[in-house]
Homo-oligomer: A and B are copies of this chain.
Amino acid sequence: MHIANEERLLEALTPNERRALDGASRKLLASLETETFTARDSSDREVQMEITRNSVETKPGSGEWFTGKVYLDAVAAPIGASRLSATSVHFTPGARTHWHTHPNGQTIYVTEGVGLAQCRGGPIEVIRPGDRVFFEPGEEHWHGASPNRFMTHLAMLEVDDEGNNATWGDPVTDEEYGGDA
Q: Does A154 contact B (CB under 8 A)?
A: yes
Q: Does A132 contact B (CB under 8 A)?
A: yes
Q: Which of A93-140 contact B (CB under 8 A)?
A: 101, 104-105, 107, 109, 117, 119-123, 125, 127-140
A86 close to B86 (CB less than 8 A): yes
CB contact under 8 A between A75 and B1, given known A47-B119, A84-B156, A139-B49: no
CB contact under 8 A between A140 and B84, given known A53-B131, A109-B75, A132-B51: no
Q: Does A80 contact B (CB under 8 A)?
A: yes
Contact of A54 among B41, B125, B129, B141 (CB under 8 A): B129
Contacts of A49 in B (CB 8 A): 117, 119, 122, 125, 133-136, 139, 141
Give Cα distance in the complex from A163 to B41, angstroms: 22
Residues of A within 8 A of B (CB): 1-3, 37-43, 45, 47-54, 75-76, 79-84, 86, 101, 104-105, 107, 109, 117, 119-123, 125, 127-141, 154, 156-158
Contact of A131 among B52, B84, B119 (CB under 8 A): B52
A41 close to B79 (CB less than 8 A): no
Copies in the complex: 2
A39 close to B156 (CB less than 8 A): no
B1 close to A122 (CB less than 8 A): yes
Contacts of A39 in B (CB 8 A): 119-122, 139-140
Contacts of A84 in B (CB 8 A): 84, 107, 156-158
Residue pairs across A and B with Cβ atoms less than 8 A apart, 27 shown, are A1-B122, A1-B125, A39-B120, A39-B139, A39-B140, A40-B121, A47-B119, A47-B139, A48-B139, A49-B122, A49-B133, A51-B117, A52-B131, A54-B128, A54-B129, A75-B107, A75-B109, A76-B109, A76-B134, A76-B156, A81-B104, A82-B137, A82-B157, A83-B158, A86-B109, A86-B156, A158-B158
